[in-house]
Structures are given as C-alpha cells and as structure tokens.
Amino acid sequence: MPPRHASPVSRRPISRNLLPLLQLLGFIRPYLGRALVAALALVVAAGSVLAFGQVIRTLVDSGLASGRGAALDHALLVFLAVVIVMALAVFGRSYLLTWLGERVVADLRRAVFERVLSLDVGYFETVRTGEIISRLTADTALLQVVFGSTLAMAARALLLIAGGIVMLAVTSPKLTALVLLGTPAILVPVWLIGYRVRRLSRSSQDRLADVGAYVDEALHAIRTVQAFCHEPTDRQRYAGRVEEAFAAARSRALASASLSGTVMLLTFAAIGLVLWLGGREVLAGRLSGGELSAFLFYSMLVASSIGGLSEVVAELMRGAGASERLLELLAQRPQITPPRDPRPLPEPASGRIEIRDLTFAYPAQPEIAAIEGLDVAIAAGERVALVGPSGAGKSTLFQLLLRFYDPQRGALFFDGLDLRTVHPSDLRRRIAIVPQDPVIFAADAWENIRYGLDDVDDEAVRRAADAAQASEFLDRLPQGFATFLGERGVRLSGGQRQRIAIARAILRDPALLLLDEATSALDAENERLVQRALETLMEGRTSLVIAHRLATVRKVDRILVIDRGRLIASGTHAQLMAEEGLYARLARLQFQVDRDESLADATPAG
Ligand SMILES: Nc1ncnc2c1ncn2[C@@H]1O[C@H](COP(=O)(O)OP(=O)(O)OP(=O)(O)O)[C@@H](O)[C@H]1O
C-alpha cells in the first residue's frame, strides 16, 4: 500500500511562533513595489508621530516658558506641517496595505481552491467538506484582517516602540535606563498570556469548523433528515457543537481580555513611576519642563504601543493558526498525478479496454480487496453489462477506469495504453459517465448539459438534449433551457435528471461510456424515454453498463458477472440463464424475470 495522506484534518500541536504567517508572506512577492511604498508610508507616519515629541518640547521650553507669542506661532506652524505629512502618510499606508491584504487573500483563496480541486478523490474520503469550506472562508477572512491591518499595526507599534526608546534615550538617558530595566516585568507576562490566547484561538477555530461541517451534512440531506424525523436529534447535536464553539470562544475571550487588562495595569503603573522620577529630576534642575513633557509623551507612546502590540499579537496569533490550516491544505499533494512525460492517446479514440490481473483495495479499507485478480478485455464498440450483487465491485471498476485511484496490482489499458502513462484529463475527456443519481448543478439547462465543454454552441446542446429525449420537458419549463434547475436539481424528477445526464454524455461524444443504470423504477413513459435516450447514447461506442434492467442485459453483447471483486462468469443473458449460476439467481431477483420466460430465453429458439 502506498502511504496515504497523513492526517489531513490533523489537530497538530500548536507552534509557539508566527512562522506560518511569515510563510504566507511569499504571497506578497508579486506586489513588492507596492509593499515597499506602503512600508515607506508606514515609516514616515511613525516618524511624524515621533516628531510630535520634539514639537511639544519646543512648545513648552521656547514657547510657553519664554512667554514669547512669536515662538508659539512658529511652533504651531511646525505642528501643522507635521500633521499634514502624517495625514498623507497615513492615507498612503492605509490604502496600500488594505489593498495588499485583499489582494494577498484573493490570491491565497485561489491557490488553495486550485490545490483542493487537484487532489484525488481518495483525499475527500478522509476529510469533511465543511472543514475545507471553513478553511477557505473563515480562515481566509481572518487573514484578510491580518494582512490588511493587523500586520501594519504591529509594524507601526514596533516602529514607535523602537523610535520612542531612541527619543527617550536622547531626552534623558538616566530615566530611559530605569524604564528599560522595568520593561521585562511588562513583556514576560504579555508573551505568556499571548501564547495561551493563540492556543485557544486554534481550538476555537476548530470548533467553528465542526459547526460548519455539521450544517453542511444536515442541509445536504434535508429530505432524509425530515423524512426520518431526525430534526430533534440534529437540533440537539448542532446545539451541542454551537455550545462547544461558544465555550472555546469564551475561553479565548477570557484569555484575550486578561491580556489587555494586564498590559493596561502594568504600563500605566510604569508611567506613574516615570512621572514621579522625572518630577524629581526637574525639581533638581537636571531636566527642563519641555524635556519632561517630551519624555512623558514618548513613554506614553511606547507604553500604548506595547499595549497595542499585545492586542495585535493576539490577532496575529489567530492569523498564524489560520495560516497553518491553509498551509496544510496547500501542502497536500494529489496521489493521482499526470506522468512526467504523458503519452498521447490515439486520435480518434476507439474505447478499447483491457484489464490485466487487476487487484485494488480502497485506501480506507486496505485489507479488503474491492477488485481481485480481474482479467477482462473489451473490444472497441462492444456493449458490456456488469452484473453482480451489491458491493461486488462494479462501481469500483468505473472509478478505476476514470483513474480516480491506482490499483495495487495489475493495470488498466485504454486504447492499448496503461492509464498511468497518459494524462488523466486526456483519458477522462474520452470517457463519459452517467451515474445512477446524476448530479445537477445550480445553473440552467444550457450550463448543465454543456458542463465542462465551454466552447460548444447552443445548437449542439439542443441537439444533444433532443437525442436524450430531454428537450420536450425542458421546453415546457417557464424559461425553457434557461430555467434555473435548482440546487442539485431538486426541481426535476429522477427520469428527467437522468435524461439531462444522458444529454451531457451525448454532447461529450465519448469513446467509452460508463453507465450506472438507476435502480429506482421509473414510470412507464419515463422508462421508455430513458431507454430510447440510452439507445442513442450507446450507439457506436464502447459501453460499460452496471445493469439493473432486463431490457438492458438483453441488448448487450456480453454480460460480466462479478462477485466479491472477481469475474465469475461471462456470456449473453441466454447463456448465463442456462448455466443456472449466480447470474440466473440474481436475474430472477433483480430483473423480475419470470422463470418460464427465462427458460424460453435459454432455448435456442427463444
Ligand atoms: N470509497 C470507498 N472506500 C472504502 N471502501 C469502499 C469505497 N467504495 C466502495 N467500497 C467498498 O468496495 C466494495 C465494492 O464496492 P462497489 O461500490 O464497487 O460495489 P458495487 O458492485 O458497485 O455495489 P452496488 O451495486 O451496491 O453499487 C464494497 O465492499 C464497498 O464497501
């Protein structure tokens, strides 16, 4: 067994740093020019705030203390000049950074979605869709804030702290030394509580993803939920998850609030102390009034920046959690990848299939082989029915032919080429699948039939719909083909959905048709229309049908009887009925074959 994706929804232990966030900074690279201008604006804005300290010092010492009005006027002019520079810088910083944040998140969303789309179907058996949706929406939204403002606020705070400390040192080295000595008393508790906030943030995000995943599942199955009166249970379970999410958020809020409170207490206590010490210096004549004012301004600036930093650190930590979850997705590698040097499939394709000594077990159940030692050759244009009890491996064979999985042993060949040597899209373009319960997308009929073939004109779509016996009911819809078919096609009957799927397959004009007949009975009219549509569809192509209808097995060239992943018999309906083996037993049960009729079939004259 090849190793599978480790644990896609792993709840990994949390790293204590902002590294995941930095890893995402690579997304800024294409916009480096803007980022540099934004950084410059940031520095200028911070610099002008720092310049205010000097304006205040001049104002007090040469303006107020000297008692000259002209000095006051001059100080005001300088003040206004600084304000204008600051306003311009703030405008530039704010616009550019928000732009960058939005841009980076938009790119990130696209990159993650692209990666998710490229992953093999096996991956999606190991994750909940809701979890991925929550990463693509909630986590990216969080990063939008982080990249758009939080990072800038952090950078601004850091600049102000560094610049403030320099200005403090310039103003009064002695006081500054005292302040710096006391700083660890503030920073250590801040970082300790900050770590706790981050840990709780991730847990809160995880709980939120649980809520999302549950809604996703319940709403998709709303008919089943209501038919089985499962609402009270769902309500209760959902409430449980919502409460868990709330509890996680409450713990986070508590940690976050204690962080802010602690910071406030510590910094303002420190400012009081500075005022007291500075006052003594002024009284002793070692410091002017203006210098003390500037010193106070800078220490408040530094203190409030540290306070601000502690708040944004919490936000950054949440952002780091979100980054981690997105990076996890970005790091996933599909198990099914195109070969390095894909071989071209013959053109036109003939749809010839060969299956040699095929053994396959699903990754989720590695010890049980769904297909075992299967050897089958299907000629171009041949019609083959697959018959076997439930769980025999019929659908699995379809999945392998579409190369959704690779076998553990043996190989499948399409037009003589091993599936692993050709490009998966190249292969899949030559195959059309009509599933038992076809998927109808939330779009109109045009789009639903055209699905995946954007360059096909309306005329061709209509012809396909005609051939699939679908035009008649589509034309009767309020806006004809342009009618919105509803999410998952809930506005269509089973037979109508099938005919749309058949039209989709006809339009693709595949060399190989994989058809999983519906088990549910259709009314006589729908049945007749679907059969006619299928007849058109199968014409001139290799067709592999998981058969549930007598009409179908009678029409095919060969029936393969599969049981527990092995081929146990093959032949025509009449031959297999005559053998009186598993097929005859199944046929009587599944196709409601009357014993007399089957015996009549088995005779050469029948
Ligand atoms: N995604 C999966 N992961 C693990 N096991 C699977 C998966 N899909 C199918 N199986 C198992 O593989 C075996 C073959 O399943 P498969 O769906 O091919 O049967 P089938 O013949 O198509 O049955 P049915 O007629 O009921 O659709 C079954 O035992 C099934 O439980």
Q: Quick check: 360 pLDDT over 90?
A: yes
Q: Is the CB of 364 under 6 A from ligand 1?
A: yes
Residues 299 and 422 in one domain: no
- Give the model confidence (pLDDT) of 381-439 as tens digits: 999 999 988 889 999 999 999 999 999 999 999 999 999 999 999 999 999 998 888 88
Same domain, 139 and 272: yes
Q: Is residue 507 part of a domain?
A: no
Question: Which atom of ligand 1 is least distant from the CA of 365?
Answer: 4
Q: Residue 95's domain is classified under what CATH number?
A: 1.20.1560.10
Q: What is the mean pLDDT of residues 572-577?
A: 87
- Residue 404 near ligand 1, beta carbon < 6 Å: no
Band of residue 519 on the pLDDT scale cut at 50, 70, 90: low
Residues of the domain holding 74: 20-331
Q: 189 preceded by cis ω (within 30°)?
A: no
Q: Is residue 156 part of a domain?
A: yes
pLDDT, residue 262, reads 83
At 403 the pLDDT is 93
**489 confidence band (pLDDT: 50, 70, 90):** low
SS3 category, 54: helix
Ligand 1 midpoint to CA 364 (Å): 11
- 108-122, 136-150, 293-307: which is most confident: 108-122
Task: Kindly give the number of the ligand 1 atom that is closest to the alpha carbon of 519.
Answer: 25
Q: Is the CB of 393 under 6 A from ligand 1?
A: yes
Q: How far apart are alpha carbons 164 and 325 in whole angstroms?
A: 36
* pLDDT given at position 520: 64
Q: How many angstroms separate the alpha carbon of residue 546 from the centre of ligand 1?
A: 13
For 435-472, the pLDDT digits (tens) are 888 888 888 888 889 988 888 888 999 988 888 888 88
Report pLDDT for 12: 35
CA torsion through residues 498, 501, 507, 510, sign: negative
Specify the pLDDT at position 605: 38
Q: According to the model, what pLDDT value does residue 209 have?
A: 77
The pLDDT assigned to 6 comes to 36
* Test site for ligand 1: of 335, 374, 396, 562, most ligand atoms within 8 A of the Cβ: 396
Same domain, 251 and 383: no
pLDDT attached to residue 603 = 42
Nearest to 11 by CA among 176, 199, 185: 199
The reply to whether 315 and 351 lie within a common domain is no
The average pLDDT across 297-317 equals: 81
CA of 522 to the centre of ligand 1 (A): 24
Q: What is the pLDDT of residue 63?
A: 67
C-alpha distances out from residue 160 to 47, 164, 391, Å: 8, 5, 68
- Of the listed ranges 24-28, 65-69, 148-152, 172-176, the least confidently predicted one is 65-69
Is pLDDT of 601 > 50?
A: no
Give the atom of ligand 1 at the shortest distance from the alpha carbon of 386.
Answer: 21
Which residue, judged by its Cα, is nearest atom 25 of ligand 1? 390
Rounded-to-integer distance, Cα 377 and Cα 422, Å: 19
- The pLDDT assigned to 124 comes to 87
pLDDT, residue 487, reads 63
Cα(195) to centroid of ligand 1, in Å?
Answer: 46
Nearest atom (ligand 1) to Cα of 390: 26
Lowest mean pLDDT among 169-183, 215-229, 462-476, 513-527: 513-527
Q: Is the CB of 396 under 6 A from ligand 1?
A: yes
* Closest atom of ligand 1 to CA, residue 125: 1
Is residue 324 located within the same domain as residue 387? no
Domain edge (last residue) among 283, 308, 331: 331
174: in domain: yes
Q: How many domains does the chain have?
A: 2
**Does 576 reside within a domain?**
yes
Q: Is the CB of 367 under 6 A from ligand 1?
A: no
Q: Indicate if ligand 1 lies below 6 Å from the C-beta of 365.
A: yes
Establish whether residue 388 lines the binding site of ligand 1, counting it when its CB lies within 6 angstroms of any ligand atom.
yes
The reply to whether ligand 1 has any atom less than 6 angstroms from the CB of 124 is no
What is the residue with the minimal CA distance to atom 7 of ligand 1? Answer: 362
For residue 351, pLDDT over 50 is answered with yes
Ligand 1 atom 9, closest CA: 396
Among the atoms of ligand 1, which is closest to the Cα of residue 393? Answer: 18
- The upper half-sphere exposure of residue 405, i.e. CA atoms within 13 Å in the direction of its Cβ, equals 28
Q: Which helix (H) or strand (E) segment is 379 a member of?
A: none
Q: Is the CB of 399 under 6 A from ligand 1?
A: no
Q: Which of 138-152, 176-190, 320-334, 384-398 has the lowest mean pLDDT?
A: 176-190
Residues 230 and 373 in one domain: no
Residue 512, strand partner residues:
431, 542
User: pTM of the full predicted structure?
Assistant: 0.72
Q: For residue 393, tell me if it sits in a domain.
A: yes
> Are 286 and 359 within one domain?
no
Instruction: Output the residue whose Cα is nearest ligand 1's atom 26.
Output: 390
- Which residues, other chains included, contact 23 with Cβ-Cβ below 8 Å and sequence gap of 6+? 323, 327
**Ligand 1 contact, 449 CB (< 6 A):** no
pLDDT exceeds 50 at position 337: yes
Q: Is the CB of 392 under 6 A from ligand 1?
A: yes
| Predicted local confidence at residue 386, as pLDDT | 92
Do 293 and 383 fall into the same domain? no
Summarize the confidence of residues 110-137 as an average pLDDT.
87
Q: Do residues 30 and 162 both lie within one domain?
A: yes
* Least-confidence region, from 41-55, 151-165, 211-225, 552-566: 211-225
Q: What is the pLDDT of residues 250-283, one digit of tens each?
A: 988 888 888 888 878 877 787 788 888 888 888 8
Whether residue 148 is found in the same domain as residue 247: yes
Q: Is residue 124 part of a domain?
A: yes
**Residue 542: strand pairing partners:** 512
Does ligand 1 lie within 6 Å of residue 261's CB atom? no
Average pLDDT over residues 359-365: 89
- Contact (Cβ atoms closer than 8 angstroms) between residue 165 and residue 176: yes
Q: Give, using CA atoms, the residue closest to atom 2 of ligand 1.
A: 362
pLDDT of residue 599: 45
Burial class from Cβ neighbours inside 10 Å (0-12, 13-18, 19+) for residue 572 reads middle
Statement: residue 13 has pLDDT above 50: no
pLDDT at 18 over 60: yes
Taking 90 as the threshold, does the pLDDT of residue 37 lie above it? yes
Computed from CA positions of residues 574, 578, 583, 589, in that sequence, does the dihedral angle turn out positive or negative?
positive
Please tell me the distance between residue 565's alpha carbon and the centre of ligand 1 in angstroms: 10
- The helix-helix angle for 289-331 and 231-283 (nearest 10°) equals 150
Do 324 and 355 reside in the same domain of the chain?
Answer: no
Question: Given a cut of 70, is residue 488 above it in pLDDT?
Answer: no
Is 362's C-beta closer than 6 angstroms to any atom of ligand 1?
yes
At residue 115 the predicted structure's pLDDT band, cuts being 50, 70 and 90, is: very high
User: For residue 104, what are its two tokens?
Assistant: 């980076």
Which value does ipTM take for this structure?
0.95
Question: What confidence tier does 11 reach under pLDDT thresholds 50, 70, 90?
Answer: very low
Atom of ligand 1 nearest to the CA of 392: 21
Is 517 within the bounds of a domain?
no
User: Which of 121, 123, 365 has the most ligand 1 atoms within 8 A of CB, as the residue to mutate?
Assistant: 365
236 lines ligand 1 (CB under 6 A): no
pLDDT above 90 covers a percentage of the chain that reads 22
Residue nearest to ligand 1 atom 16, measured at CA = 393
Regarding the beta carbon of 580 and ligand 1, being less than 6 Å apart is answered no
CA 214 to CA 276: how far, in whole Å? 59
Q: What pLDDT does residue 543 have?
A: 92
Q: Is residue 506 part of a domain?
A: no
pLDDT tens for 132-144 read 888 888 888 888 8
> What mean pLDDT, rounded, does the chain reach?
84
Find the CATH number of the domain harbouring 359: 3.40.50.300
Kindly state if the Cβ of 535 falls inside 6 Å of ligand 1.
no
Same domain, yes or no: 58 and 199: yes
